[in-house]
Every structure is written in structure tokens, then in C-alpha cells.
Amino acid sequence: MTGDVERDQAALEVAVVPEGPADERVPVALAARMLNNLQLLLWQLGEYLLGQRIKERGAYSVEVLGQCRLEFEDAKVGSYHARVVLPRVIQPSLYEDEPLGQKALKALLRILTAVNAVQHRDLARELRDPAVRRRILQYVDSMLPRDGERFKIQISHPDVGTLHFTRETHKLLAVWMEEDIEGEVDLLGQLVQLHIEPNRTLAIRSLDDHELIKATYEEGLEPTLIANMGAIVRVMGKFIKAGRNKKIIHVSAVENPAVEYINLDGVKFRNRELRFVFPLKVVKTEEAGLIVLRIPELWVHEFGATLPEAMEALQEELLFLWDEYALAADGELSEDARRLKRRLNRLVSGICEERHKA
């Protein structure tokens, strides 16, 4: 989507500060590495928020490159200190949505806050997929000072205050990334396969991305799993390393969460309406005090403090997906994005736009 660009007022302040004498010079390579990986991290989060897989460098979408771009606002004297900002995209669409860059920046701040506070559980809630979490942590780690670099990184923003990262943070992330190889699993999905003999295995269809996830499970869970065959379940357990570069999920607990379904005949927001070929099934759950709405086959996951708030976010997201994917040329989209485009075109029977008389 194109539009005029303005500077955003909420700047992100970044600094490289000596741990020793204040007049010690900051290596250019350290400052450049910090800023480069901060930008790459924001681009990766932009792709993640769009429902795309984590990308290799240089393969980002045009929207992410444009809206998640960091720009210098000013630079201060002493140590190395700079203010960087996002461009504000004035979207010419007929509905309002928070710019992707701001969404990615908020996710970035939550992730950095979790790292700064040594809260792995908060990080796992933000990035549920361990593979995504590990890749994002690699970018965070690449920003940080190494042994022999006697400096610390400071990142400040009005929403979180000042966060400090040192060589000790680098050591912490090394431990976290190793834990993610054999880390915790907390998944919500439909139980679609169950085998009791000769091996205890199951498969669930994730509510977040509609992927089929296979796992083993502990003895004694059979009655609960049999009773919930075909239902939405919450499974908890661990990723277990199984040979070189391979890991499996082992489920140790199963819950039957409160789930409701909402049939959505269409989406009407502002003066636009999408009509579906058949009612779209929306999965409604309550998690951490929030109403969460999911459409797994479209990789849609929205939430709000109330059902109307969550539904409004869902409608905005569906219209956004239609504009950005269904109407885009195939050559502009990645393989996953083309797959999403095909699903949208199968589901939507028509779109209408109300015209206001002058």
C-alpha cells in the first residue's frame, strides 16, 4: 500500500556506552552491528505480524521494507547516541488500522523488555513458535557486545523507559536459545489424530496457523485424549531433541479449554463489506483476560478486552488481508502469501463499497 510518509513523534533512542572510562571511544563496528541487527529484527517482526514465515535476509516484502524502516532523527554527542524513528504511513484506505511499523515496534519493545527483565515466559507468550523465537533471539543477540567489548547497549522509548544490555545478556541468550531446543510447548488446536498402539502419538491442527503438528504423549493421557478426539484442546509439554537438527514434541498435559464458535456471514467495516461464500467459522477463546478470535485457515489471530473490540480488530484485519493479498499480483507475493490469496478468493463471494453522495 502506498501513501505519504511523515516522521513519527515517538523516537527510539539507542546508545552504545562504555562500561569503563567515559572517554573511551566506541568502535564503529559495534555501533554499526547494533543498528543493522535492530533494523533486521524489526523487519523480521513485521513479516511475522503479517503472518509470513521468518525470512532470509533481503527477502522482505515491500510493505515491511517501507513501514518498518528505521531512519535517523538526530545524533547526540558523547559515547554513541542516536534517535531513530519509523516513517508514519498515511494510508489512503477507507478503513483505519495501526501502521505495521508501529505494531512491529511494540512487539520489539515487548521482546526487549522480556530479555532485559530475564522473563523467558513473557518472551514465549509473545513468540509462541520456538523456531520463530530462536531466530528472533539470534538477531537480538547479534546486537549485543561480546567478550572483550567493554560496552553496554541502551535502548529507550517512552513506553518502556531505558533497557540495558551487556555481555551478560549475551550469555543469557545463549542459554535461552539452547533451552528452546528442548523448551516448553503450549499449543491450542484441534485434536485430529490419535494412536495408542504401538506408539503413543497424536496430531493437532494449530489454531494459530492451521499447521498439522505431530507429537508423542505420556502414558495415562489416553482417556482425556479419547474423550476430546476432534475437539479443541490445549496441550502442554516440551520440545525434545531427537538427533542432530531434529526435535519432537512430547505432551505431558492436556486441557479442554472453553471454546465458542461464531459464524461470520460477512465483514462490514466503515463503508466497505466483504461477503463470504459460506459462513466463516471464528474460534473464540479467553486467554490472559482477553477475548481471542481466530480464523486458522487464514492465519488470523486478533484479540480485545471485550468481544466487540476483538470483533472490530478481526474485521479490520480481514479487510486488510483482502486489500494487501487478494488484490495483489502474484509476482509481488511470496509463496505463503499466494497461498493466502487463493484461500481468500475461495472464501469471498463479493465486496461492495458504499458511495457517499457529494
- pLDDT for 2 equals 35
With contact defined as beta carbons under 8 Å apart, do 101 and 68 qualify? yes
Q: Residue 171 contacts by C-beta under 8 Å, 6 or more apart in sequence?
A: none
Q: Name the phi and psi angles at 145, rounded to 5.
A: -65, 150
Cα–Cα distance measured from residue 189 to residue 168, given in angstroms and rounded to the nearest whole number: 37
Q: Which amino acid is at 284?
A: K
For 31, the grid coordinates are 555501533
132 in Cβ contact with 208 (< 8 Å): no
Q: How far apart are CA 123 and CA 186, in angstroms?
A: 13
pLDDT of 291-341, one tens digit each?
A: 889 888 887 888 888 899 888 888 888 888 888 888 888 887 777 778 888
Contact 238, 184 (CB under 8 A): yes
Cα 338 from Cα 328, distance rounded (Å): 9
Task: State the Rg of the chain over Cα.
Answer: 23
Q: Dihedral, CA atoms, 354, 356, 357, 358, nearest 10 degrees?
A: -150
| Structural domains of the chain, with CATH | 4-181 (no CATH), 184-255 (2.40.50.140), 260-353 (no CATH)
Q: Residues 6 or more apart from 101 whose CB is under 8 A from it?
A: 8, 42, 46, 67, 68, 69, 86, 87, 88, 89
Question: Which sign does the torsion angle of CA 100, 84, 144, 55 carry?
Answer: positive
* SS3 of residue 323 by DSSP: helix
For residues 227 and 208, give the distance between their C-alpha atoms in angstroms, rounded to a whole number: 23
DSSP character at residue 96: -
What would the DSSP string read from start to end of 208-258? Answer: TT--EEEEEE-TT-HHHHHHTTTSEEEEEEEEEE-STT-EEEEEEEEE---
Q: What is the pLDDT of residues 92-130, one digit of tens each?
A: 444 446 778 888 888 999 999 988 888 877 887 788 766
Residue 271 sits at the vertex; the CA angle it makes with 268 and 274, to the nearest 5 degrees, is 35
The pLDDT score that the predictor gives to residue 112 is 92
Record the cell numbers describing residue 27, joined without a space: 568502535
Between 41-50, 160-169, 178-187, the lowest mean confidence (pLDDT) is in: 178-187
Q: Among residues 344, 259, 264, which one has the least CA distance to residue 298?
A: 344
Q: What local confidence, expressed as pLDDT, does residue 109 receive?
A: 92
The model's pLDDT over 192-214, given as tens digits with 9 standing for 90+, comes to: 999 988 788 999 988 877 778 88
pTM metric for this prediction: 0.51
The residue that leads in pLDDT, 201 or 179, is 201
